[in-house]
Structure 1
Amino acid sequence: MHKMLNLVPIESLSDLVCITCKKVLSQFPIYCSTGGSTCGRCPYPQNGIKNEAYEVVAQKLKFPCCFNENGCLENLLPKDVPTHEKFCRFRKYDCPIICNPVCGWKGVAQDLLDHVEVKHCMLLLKDGRFEVDFVNNHNENYLLPYGDNLYIVNRRAVSKKHSFFCTVSYIGSDVSVEEFSYKIILESGNKNHSHEICNRMNATTQIDRDELSAILHDPTSIVAKIEVFLEEILNNNLKQDDHENQNLNLDLLRELECSVCFLYMTPPILQCLTGHSFCQTCKEKLSECPSCKKPFQNTQNFVLAQVIAHIDYPCKYSKCRFTAKAKDIRRHEENCTFTPHPCPLIDYENCSEEMMFDQMYEHIVNNHYESLLEIDCVSYPFSINDETRITDCFIIKYDSKLFKLHIEYEDCKFYFAAQLVGPPEEASDYRFCVDILDASKKNHRVYCTRNCGPMTHGDDAFEDGREFIVFTREQIKHLITDVIFFRAIIKNN
C-alpha cells in the first residue's frame, strides 16, 4: 500500500501567501501581524508574533516549490524548502552584473552565460584572470565559467586602505558546489613570483597591498587567477603540501618553536639564565623556565632576532596560505580570514561559540535571529517619564559585512553606536545614520550620522573617544508618544 502524500490542497494555497513576497508560506519562521502573515524569506515584522501553531502543522505538509510557475513540479516539506529554492533549476536570477543603468534581464542560470556574452562581454572572465587594482576605488561583478558551472566573482578595492577584496559565489542548481572552495593565484607581471590564497565559496578574501607587494618583490603589476576546488581535495592538498610551494624553511622553523605554546617565536625573544628561549607572551605567564627551573631576567636573544628577521613565517592557521617576515606575520594573524572570533553578541546573550567572520551571519540567523535587524525601522515602548535604563544590541548586515548596533538609554539620554564586526581598520570605511521618526505623525524628525567604530564590548561602546550618537530626551520628546520610533542605516563613507 502506497503512503499518501500530505499535500496542501490547491484551493488553500491562495490563502497561504506571504504579504511581502507573495510566495506560499512554506519557509519558516512564519510571523503574524495585522496585515497578514510573513514567511521566512522576508524580514519579519517588528510587531509580529511567531505563528508556532501553524509551523507545527505545516511542517508535516508538502508545499509546491515557489518556482512552480516556471516549471518546477517538486512538492516539499518546509525543512527542505530553503535548500531546494536556493538551487532550484527553475529559479530565475536578476542579472548579477553591476552597471548603470541597471540591466533588467531576468532568467534561469543556464541562460545567464549567453546573456553576459552578448550584453556584458567585457565582464566575462573566460580564463579566470584579471589585474588586481589597489589604486582606484571600485566594486564590480564578473561572470566566471569554470568547468560546467558558473560563478560570480565580486572584485572590490578601497584605495585609502590599500586593500583589495574578492568573493566567489556559485550560481546554479548543483547543491554539492556549496562544499567547494576557491583559490586566488597572484602573480607578478613578469611571473617570476607568485602567491596563493584559498578560501571557501561565498567567503571574502582580503588582500593587503603592502603585504602582497613584499611577497611578490614589489611588482609593477599583479595578475590574479581564480580556480575552484572541492573542499575535500583542497584539504588533502593542504595536508600534503603544507606550504611546499612557498619559500619556507620548515626545518629551521621547527627549531624556532616555543616550548610552551609550540608556535614559532618572533621577536622579541626572551631567554632564561641558562639560555632557553621563549616567546614574550609565554614568558610573561611564567615565573621560571619550565626546562631548567632557572629564573627569568629581562634578557632578549638579539642575535637570534637578527637571524630570523630574514625568514618567512607561515600563518598559524593551517588553512591559510599567507606567509610573511616575522615583523608582519602577527599583524596578519590578528585579522586573518581563518581566525576564530567569539559570537559578536557574547556581551548581550552570553553565547560562547567561536567562528570565523564569514560564518557569523549564518550563526546569527540560526541562534540569534531575534537580534538580526533585517528592516531598518525599530520601535520601543517608552514613557517620556521613564527613568529605567535600557540596553540592547542588533546585528545589521550591509555590503556583505555585519555591524553591531548598540543602544542605551540612561540619565535621560539615548545613545547609539554602530561597530564593524570585522577587521578594525575597515570600520572607518562606513558610517551609520540614526533617524528619530515622529511617532506623533506631525512629520518631524531628528537626524544624525557618525563614523562606524571597531567592535568593542557593549559596556565600552560609549566611552570617551569612541564614535557614537547621543540625543537628550529633551531634544526628541516631541517625537515620542508611548513609543520611540527610529531608523538605523549603514552607509559607505
Structure 2
Amino acid sequence: MAPGGGIFAEISESHSEDSRFSTANVQLENFQLSKPSNNSSAKAGISSTNGVHELLECPVCTKSMYPPIHQCPNGHTLCSSCKLRVHNHCPTCRYELGNIRCLALEKVAESLELPCQHQNLGCSDVFPYYSKLKHEQMCRFRPYNCPYAGSECLVTGDIPTLVTHLRNDHKVDMHDGCTFNHRYVKSNPQEVENATWMLTVFNCFGQHFCLHFEAFLLGMAPVYMAFLRFMGDDNEAKNFNYSLEVGGNGRKLIWQGVPRSIRDSHRKVRDSYDGLVIHRNMALFFSGGNRQELKLRVTGRIWREQ
C-alpha cells in the first residue's frame, strides 16, 4: 500500500467479478490503523488517515458515511440514504446493491479521530469518527444563519460576516447604543401580511442585537409583534435582558425578557410569542385619531445582567 493511502474498495474493471470482490475484502482486512497516544501523534494520525476519510465519503451525496454503510458485489460503497435514492443500483457500476453491509469499512471508521469541520472557524477539538457528527451539529463555532426574516436568505457565517451582510445586502439600519425609540406607521392597517416590517441591528456592550417588528395573523386575529434576538449563542444571550414598551391614550403595554439567540430561527421565536404582542384593536386604540391609520411608538432598552 502506498504511503498515506487508504482502503481500495474500487478495483480495475479488467478483473472478474469474483476477483474484484475478494481483492477488496483482502485489502480491507489488511488495513490497520493505530490509535494515536498523544497530541503530537494525533496530528500525524489525522494527516495519515486523509485517504480513509475520503473513502468514507459517499460518492452520491459526498457526505461522510455512517452505519449502515452499503456496498455492491464489486465493493463500491454508499450511504444508506443514497441507497434509496439510486433505486438500489450501484451508482458506479450499476450492479444491483442487495443488502450487503461493508462491515470492514465501518470497523475502520471506529479507529479514526478527526478534527471538527469548523476547525477554520476556531474549533480545535478532535473527535472519534462516530462522535464527530453529533458534535458538529452543536459546535459553538458552527456558522450562524442570516437573521433577516424578510426573505429566504441562505447566507451563513460568523457574526462579523453577518453584520456586514445585513448592512450591505439587506440595507438594515444599524445603531449604536442600548436604548431604542421607533415609530411604526402604516396607512392601511387592515392589510396584515405575514412578513417582517422592520429589522434594526443594535451595537450594544460590544455585541449585536436584532430588533424585529412585524404583522401576522394569530389564528384569525391580526396582531403586531416586537422582539429582540441576540447575535451569538444561547449561553451568551442569557447575560442580557431587554424591555419593550408601547402605549397611547394613557395606557401602555410593557414586555421584559431575555433576548433569544439567532440560533433559534425568526419563525421559532415569533411562533412562541416570546415578545411584545399587540392585537390590532389595541394597536389602533394606541394610535388614536379615527383608527384608520396605525401609529405605534415602541421604546425599549437592553441591559447586562450583573
Place the TM-score, normalised by the shorter chain, in its bin: 0.5 to 0.7
CA contact under 8 A between 1:273 and 1:297: conserved in structure 2? Answer: yes
Structure 1 residue 487: deviation in Å?
2.5
Query: How far, CA to CA, are the matches of 1:282 and 1:427 in structure 2?
Result: 38
The equivalent position to 1:344 in structure 2, one of 135, 147, 153, is: 147
Query: How far, CA to CA, are the matches of 1:248 and 1:404 in structure 2?
Result: 45
Structure 1 residue 373: deviation in Å?
4.9
Q: Deviations over 1:342-397 (max 9, x none)?
A: 5332x4156565433331122223333434354522111146x8322153242344
User: What is the match of residue 176 of structure 1?
Assistant: none
User: What is the match of residue 407 of structure 1?
Assistant: 213
Unaligned residue ranges in structure 1 (runs of 5+): 1-191, 196-214, 216-242
What TM-score do the two structures reach when normalised by structure 2? 0.60
Cα distance change of structure 1 residues 253 and 453 upon mapping to structure 2, 3 Å threshold: closer
Cα distance change of structure 1 residues 422 and 453 upon mapping to structure 2, 3 Å threshold: closer
The equivalent position to 2:126 in structure 1, one of 323, 337, 342, is: 323
Cα distance change of structure 1 residues 280 and 420 upon mapping to structure 2, 3 Å threshold: farther
Structure 1 residue 254: deviation in Å?
3.9
Supply the AA of the counterpart residue of 1:367.
D
Query: How far, CA to CA, are the matches of 1:285 and 1:402 in structure 2?
Result: 42
Query: How far, CA to CA, are the matches of 2:205 and 2:101 in structure 1?
Result: 45
Supply the AA of the counterpart residue of 1:392.
W
Q: Deviations over 1:23-66 (max 9, x none)?
A: xxxxxxxxxxxxxxxxxxxxxxxxxxxxxxxxxxxxxxxxxxxx
Where relative contact order (Cα < 8 A, 6+ residues apart) is larger, the structure is 2
> Secondary structure, in 3 states, of the residue corresponding to 2:225?
strand
CA contact under 8 A between 2:246 and 2:253: conserved in structure 1? Answer: yes
- Aligned residues with identical type, % of pairs: 17
Q: Deviations over 1:72-130 (max 9, x none)?
A: xxxxxxxxxxxxxxxxxxxxxxxxxxxxxxxxxxxxxxxxxxxxxxxxxxxxxxxxxxx
User: What is the match of residue 270 of structure 2?
Assistant: 462
Query: How far, CA to CA, are the matches of 2:72 and 2:44 in structure 1?
Result: 37
User: What is the match of residue 7 of structure 2?
Assistant: none
Counterparts in 2 of 1:380-419, with a 5 A limit? 380-382=184-186, 386-389=189-192, 391-394=196-199, 395-398=201-204, 400-410=206-216, 411-419=221-229
Q: Deviations over 1:158-190 (max 9, x none)?
A: xxxxxxxxxxxxxxxxxxxxxxxxxxxxxxxxx
User: What is the match of residue 291 of structure 1?
Assistant: 92
> Secondary structure, in 3 states, of the residue corresponding to 1:348?
coil
Query: How far, CA to CA, are the matches of 2:105 and 2:273 in structure 1?
Result: 40
Supply the AA of the counterpart residue of 1:315.
C
Structure 1 residue 446: deviation in Å?
1.7
User: What is the match of residue 365 of structure 1?
Assistant: 167
Query: How far, CA to CA, are the matches of 1:418 and 1:248 in structure 2?
Result: 47
Residue 356 in structure 1 maps to residue 146 in structure 2? no
Supply the AA of the counterpart residue of 1:449.
Q
Q: State the Cα RMSD in Å.
A: 4.1
Structure 1 residue 323: deviation in Å?
1.9
Query: How far, CA to CA, are the matches of 1:255 and 1:322 in structure 2?
Result: 22
> Secondary structure, in 3 states, of the residue corresponding to 1:319?
helix
User: What is the match of residue 297 of structure 2?
Assistant: 485
CA contact under 8 A between 1:450 and 1:469: conserved in structure 2? Answer: no
Query: How far, CA to CA, are the matches of 1:419 and 1:312 in structure 2?
Result: 36
CA contact under 8 A between 1:271 and 1:277: conserved in structure 2? Answer: yes
User: What is the match of residue 333 of structure 1?
Assistant: 136
Query: How far, CA to CA, are the matches of 2:247 and 2:115 in structure 1?
Result: 55
Cα distance change of structure 1 residues 412 and 434 upon mapping to structure 2, 3 Å threshold: farther
Query: How far, CA to CA, are the matches of 1:413 and 1:434 in structure 2?
Result: 19
Q: Deviations over 1:408-452 (max 9, x none)?
A: 2243422234344455x5476366644224455x5x532113442
Supply the AA of the counterpart residue of 2:163.
Y
User: What is the match of residue 70 of structure 2?
Assistant: 271
User: What is the match of residue 77 of structure 1?
Assistant: none
Cα distance change of structure 1 residues 306 and 420 upon mapping to structure 2, 3 Å threshold: farther
